[in-house]
Structure 1
Amino acid sequence: MNNHERPVPAGNFSADSRHETISRMESETLDVLVIGGGITGAGILLDGVTRGMAIGLVEMQDFAAGTSSRSTKLVHGGLRYLKQFEVALVAEVGRERAIVYENAPHVTTPLWMLLPIVENGTYGKFLSRLGLYVYDRLARVKHDERRQILTKEQALDKEPLLRQDILKGAGYYVEYRTDDARLTLEIVKEAVERGALAINYTKVERLLYENGKIVGAQLVELISGQRFSVHAKKVINATGPWVDELRSEDGSKTGKTVHLTKGVHIVISQSRFPLHNPVYFDVPDGRMVFAIPRDGKTYVGTTDTDYTGDVKTPRTTAADRDYLIDAVNYMFPSIRLTAVDVESFWAGVRPLIQEEGKGPSEISRRDEVFVSPSGLITIAGGKLTGYRKMAEKVVSLAAKELFEETGDNFGPCQTEHIALSGGKFGGSDKMEHHYLSAQIREGLELGLTRASAEKLARRYGTNIPMLWDILRKAENDSSISANAEAQSELDKEVYASLVYGIKHEMVVTPSDFFIRRTGAMFFDVNWVRLWKEPVIAYMAAVNDWTDEVTERHRKQLDQQLAEATEVVLRE
């Protein structure tokens, strides 16, 4: 019986299951080992397991800790790539938007976006009309989401803050905002629920070879220091900004290499920047920048500069921040934004394929696949929106090689119609009225405020009943819980999401919770400050941390708070 014919037990994605996950990884030869737990690796994991592969994934940080939690948080068709004549790229990722939305509508939201047409801008009226027309056709945009061209007066009616003296009109079209980290997480969770193996904070120490061919990796689990080996018929390098490091380890860093660029976003309260619609606008240096409202904030980005610093901890410089402030004040002059108005920011590193003679903004966002003489498969470049097609390309390659080498036939990609964890509404049209309203009522009955109940229901989608069960159990068991004192310091919203994160989303550190499970580090930094100590105390109690370990986690969180709120003069 082939691997893909075996019944695969559904995985456990609890922080408590790490030893079990390691034991399973050690005990069998996988069909595929994926190195890298960003959106690309997550997509590969889900694609592989749904084809019947025995597949596992390791991530040296937390899932989505790198580029995949630091994007512009748009599942978009890349209108600007038409300007670079990247027609096929626009067509592919444009069509993928609707698939990502239908598969995970709780973490993806369609929004009407303004494209101001300004004097001497990137798009005049003719090019805007033509570009958006072509965009609609290439991306197969739904009829009710097709572009409109607005007059100056109509554009100002939609967004009164726009600069009037150079405004000629605006394109008006639909893009999709997402929570990039949670999208990545829901993909991993769905894969694990289907039998895949995944673990964070587990680093490759060295690759393993037999007769010159790669057969796995020796790993170290960074929380306990446990070392173990995983053997696999195929190894896929999906490490984003680190792909060339692994290629160097493999002795195959030749030909094309990765070019790193840095993108920074700033976050401002809507009370200071009350934007009504997302806006994609020109800035004086010829680039274009997004301003996007979200959860009482407006975020603006991105910069695009060459980067050679520490990939793990890219920082926002004063120059990065000021560039975006100047961009806002250019297109929205009545705002008069200053550095004091910026509440938080994030910096991310993009791994692009090197192209000689091109500046950071000109380099293609296309993905490429490299296969080394040892058999290491590397996927580099690409966009968040295209994660599913990138995964299909790589997994199909691995499946073809496996068929040739072993005779196992794993079939075609199946992910187009697979609802992700939390997205099982039976279609996006059933989410709002048929599901969320009922769940919000249930949250109210459990004592949450309407704002908290709605926030949780939208964040967790069809997994929200599990959080309500956590609250019901807490009401019954808190008096006898060994962690009752630490639990009592948390309000219901924080408690439910934290316990769910630990039990079902492999939250290992407070940073996992505050940055990637809730997004609060970027969009509600005061909430992080308010709940920092109670969350640390609860996690210390349930994990039986020593004072030394607790203090280490506290220092890490404090450092990340500083990175999210304090600029540096230089990298």
Structure 2
Amino acid sequence: MNHQSIIKLMNISTFSATERTTWLSKLESESFDLLVIGGGITGAGIALDAATRGLKVALIEKKDFAWGTSSRSTKLIHGGLRYLKQLEFSLVHEVGVERAIVHSNAPHIVIPEKMLLPIVEEGSLGKTLSSIGLWVYDRLASVEKEERRKMLEKEVVLGLEPLVRPDILLGGGLYYEYRTDDARLTIENMKTAVANGAVCVNYAELTDFIYKENGYVGGAVVRDHLSNKTIKVRARRVVNAAGPWVDTIRNHDKEGVIGKRLHLTKGVHAVVPYEKLPLQQSVYFDVQKDNRMCFAIPRGNVTYIGTTDTFYDTSIDQPNATKADVEYILDATNYMFPSAKLNLSDVESSWAGLRPLIHQDGKSPSELSRRDEIFYSETGLISIAGGKLTGYRKMAERVLNFVSKTMRIKSSSKTQKLKLSGGDFESTEAIQEYIYKVRGEAKQINIKLEQVQTLVYKYGTNTDLIINRAYELYNTIGDTQERLLAAEVWYSVHYEMTNNLCDFLIRRTGRLYFERPSLEHCYPFIADQMAKLLDWSEEQKTEELAAFKLEYEAVMDFKRS
């Protein structure tokens, strides 16, 4: 079966970088009910909620989708156990319930993960308070019975995780969270919004607002960075969901930033080879020096650790990990897992993300609330700030309820039981059945089970298109690994608006963060494939290779800071 037949069978919408001129033309020539500014998880969620309510939706993003915070989080869909310490019970309840919903809608990229909480001397919570806290957490988050917390004695904890420091260990708790790929969750939302009629374009930046005769915002002047073309996009309502750039966008409005404002904090993660920190499950542990908490999460051949939480007031466009950030993480890890003896030379990659929190006088970074809030200007600009990755769907619902009131229409969210692109599975068992089915079909072209698993946990049922493309390339590319990689690049360009190497290697696949040592040998091949698909000149290809090389080096800049 060719890919066109599969598209019809699976009801998949193309979202191709080769058709950007068509998408831009739609932005310019049509009028919309809603224009969303910002292509992170919040903007993607808003576009999807609006499109499924029947509104005509446009979305613009000045860089790539998920370029900012939405590709640089701890990559967990979690209930926020630590927010119980801040007595934010309603927040814990909401995001706890949302975990199960997001998992159900995208089970291929939101995966249950056992989380071990060591209880240690002089830790943030003792045995009794930890037990009570986890019990409350289970109830507030409506956790299923089989996933509820278990309190463990010291010997059991050491049996589960021998690397934990024994001399300060008192016991522990075992509970469940959900691991995800934040950038892929964003793109799956975006693709589903497009399938429901939304027009979404990356590398398209707002440069100014358009105002109606009554002084209300009626659209935006937009510059496309890839064609250097400027267009006007007209809409009845405009939502500013630009994450850390929310106040930047507000400053483009006549009203400016009045009243509440953002307070950015930076979170850094470090990646080490799994053999350097071979944990048996994810661990949520105390940081001795400042009474914060840190995650250590095994993922394939690596373990990633984070996060920091510090105020940030420099360039929003290029947050990077510093030597001090990474040393903080390594010191905390070595204290809890002393046999690891990690140092800077062990770190293979890193990332730094910015949290767009709402300013509260006198509070430290970790004390700032993670609640979201809507700002409404006198010109009608609607801005959404704050919030957590886990709560993106409810944030979008609240924004659209607000938009509907301003438009004097009645509508309700349809996303609670809406499967995201690739997520057409009814159970975890169904994912495994699908993996073995695809493996059986792909045997003829020498694709291994592990390769199929990797694809399915990125693309879900859309893996069919990639395998089908690999069949088409069988007589063209002899090496199995290169053939499969070429098929993945082809899919990403044609169905995920992937425009360059950085889009593919950072946000569509996460390879820069989790497979960096292997990239030096394969990214020139990927550039060759993209050059063919996107019709790059040799000069363009050279520029794209140089741009990726900068990112490749940037994740290790902390060694030079």
Normalising by the residue count of structure 1, what TM-score does the alignment of the two structures yield? Answer: 0.94
Indicate yes or no: 2:230 matched with 1:227: yes
Q: Distance in 1 between matches of 2:243 and 2:62?
A: 12
Displacement of 1:534 in angstroms is: 1.0
Displacement of 1:471 in angstroms is: 1.3
The equivalences for 1:453-464 within 5 A come to 453-464=452-463
Indicate yes or no: 2:500 matched with 1:541: no
Q: Which amino acid aligns with 1:529?
A: E
Match of 1:400 among 405, 417, 438: 405
Is the contact made by 1:316 and 1:346 (CA closer than 8 Å) also made in structure 2?
Answer: yes
Q: Distance in 2 between matches of 1:337 and 1:32?
A: 49
Q: Which residue of 1 aligns with 2:394?
A: 389
Is the contact made by 2:210 and 2:217 (CA closer than 8 Å) also made in structure 1?
Answer: yes
- Label 1:94 to 1:332 Cα distance change in 2 as closer, same or farther (>3 A): same
Displacement of 1:492 in angstroms is: 2.1
Is the contact made by 1:69 and 1:516 (CA closer than 8 Å) also made in structure 2?
Answer: yes
The equivalences for 1:123-522 within 5 A come to 123-210=125-212, 211-250=214-253, 251-284=255-288, 285-403=290-408, 408-409=409-410, 411-425=411-425, 427-475=426-474, 478=476, 491-522=482-513
Q: SS where residue 364 of structure 1 aligns? A: coil
Displacement of 1:307 in angstroms is: 0.7
Q: Which amino acid aligns with 1:465?
A: D
Q: Which amino acid aligns with 1:323?
A: Y
Q: Which amino acid aligns with 2:541?
A: T
Q: Distance in 2 between matches of 1:278 and 1:108?
A: 15
Q: Distance in 1 between matches of 2:137 and 2:23?
A: 44
Q: Which amino acid aligns with 1:498?
A: V
Displacement of 1:569 in angstroms is: 5.7
What CA deviation, in whole Å up to 9, does each residue of 1:179-201 have, x standing for no partner?
00000000000111111111101
Q: Show structure 1 runs of 5+ residues with no match.
A: 1-8, 479-483
Q: Distance in 2 between matches of 1:310 and 1:437?
A: 47
Q: Which residue of 1 aligns with 2:17?
A: 15
Q: Which residue of 2 aligns with 1:114?
A: 116
Is the contact made by 1:315 and 1:568 (CA closer than 8 Å) also made in structure 2?
Answer: no
Q: SS where residue 33 of structure 2 aligns? A: strand
Is the contact made by 1:448 and 1:492 (CA closer than 8 Å) also made in structure 2?
Answer: no
Q: Which amino acid aligns with 1:238?
A: A
Q: Which residue of 1 aligns with 2:6?
A: none
Q: Distance in 1 between matches of 2:218 and 2:13?
A: 23
Is the contact made by 2:486 and 2:529 (CA closer than 8 Å) also made in structure 1?
Answer: no
Indicate yes or no: 2:542 matched with 1:551: yes
Q: SS where residue 348 of structure 2 aligns? A: strand
Q: SS where residue 328 of structure 2 aligns? A: helix
Displacement of 1:11 in angstroms is: 5.5
Q: Which amino acid aligns with 2:124?
A: T
Displacement of 1:538 in angstroms is: 2.0
Q: Distance in 2 between matches of 1:446 and 1:104?
A: 28
Displacement of 1:372 in angstroms is: 0.4
RMSD: 1.6
Q: Which residue of 2 aligns with 1:6?
A: none
Q: Distance in 2 between matches of 1:566 and 1:380?
A: 30
What CA deviation, in whole Å up to 9, does each residue of 1:288-339 have, x standing for no partner?
1000011121100001111112112111111011000101100001111111
Q: SS where residue 361 of structure 1 aligns? A: helix
Identity %: 47
Displacement of 1:371 in angstroms is: 0.5
Normalising by the residue count of structure 2, what TM-score does the alignment of the two structures yield? Answer: 0.95
Q: Which amino acid aligns with 1:549?
A: Q
Is the contact made by 1:439 and 1:457 (CA closer than 8 Å) also made in structure 2?
Answer: no
Displacement of 1:244 in angstroms is: 0.2
Is the contact made by 1:45 and 1:55 (CA closer than 8 Å) also made in structure 2?
Answer: yes
Displacement of 1:401 in angstroms is: 1.3
Q: Distance in 2 between matches of 1:142 and 1:370?
A: 35
Displacement of 1:473 in angstroms is: 2.0
Q: SS where residue 417 of structure 1 aligns? A: coil
Q: Show structure 2 runs of 5+ residues with no match.
A: 1-10
Q: SS where residue 349 of structure 2 aligns? A: strand
Q: SS where residue 415 of structure 1 aligns? A: coil
Q: Which amino acid aligns with 2:420?
A: L
Q: Distance in 2 between matches of 1:58 and 1:367?
A: 21
Q: Which residue of 1 aligns with 2:5?
A: none
Displacement of 1:453 in angstroms is: 2.0
Is the contact made by 1:263 and 1:303 (CA closer than 8 Å) also made in structure 2?
Answer: yes
Is the contact made by 1:128 and 1:171 (CA closer than 8 Å) also made in structure 2?
Answer: yes
Q: Distance in 2 between matches of 1:116 and 1:230?
A: 53
Is the contact made by 1:11 and 1:196 (CA closer than 8 Å) also made in structure 2?
Answer: no
Q: SS where residue 231 of structure 2 aligns? A: strand
Q: SS where residue 567 of structure 1 aligns? A: helix
Q: Distance in 2 between matches of 1:492 and 1:565?
A: 30
Q: SS where residue 475 of structure 1 aligns? A: coil
Q: Distance in 1 between matches of 2:385 and 2:401?
A: 16
What CA deviation, in whole Å up to 9, does each residue of 1:364-384 have, x standing for no partner?
111010000000000001000
Q: Distance in 2 between matches of 1:488 and 1:56?
A: 41
Match of 2:515 among 514, 524, 534: 524
Match of 1:93 among 92, 95, 102: 95
Q: Distance in 2 between matches of 1:569 and 1:272?
A: 22
Q: Distance in 1 between matches of 2:73 and 2:200?
A: 23
Q: Which amino acid aligns with 2:423?
A: G
Decide which moves more: 440-449 or 178-187.
440-449
Q: Distance in 2 between matches of 1:353 and 1:569?
A: 32
Q: Which amino acid aligns with 1:395?
A: L
Displacement of 1:253 in angstroms is: 0.5
- Label 1:516 to 1:341 Cα distance change in 2 as closer, same or farther (>3 A): same
Q: Distance in 1 between matches of 2:555 and 2:448?
A: 28
- Label 1:178 to 1:128 Cα distance change in 2 as closer, same or farther (>3 A): same
Q: SS where residue 528 of structure 1 aligns? A: helix
Is the contact made by 2:282 and 2:295 (CA closer than 8 Å) also made in structure 1?
Answer: yes
Q: Which amino acid aligns with 2:134?
A: L
Q: SS where residue 310 of structure 1 aligns? A: coil
Q: How many residues align?
A: 548
What CA deviation, in whole Å up to 9, does each residue of 1:161-215 have, x standing for no partner?
0000010000110000100000000000011111111110111111110131000
Q: Which amino acid aligns with 1:143?
A: K
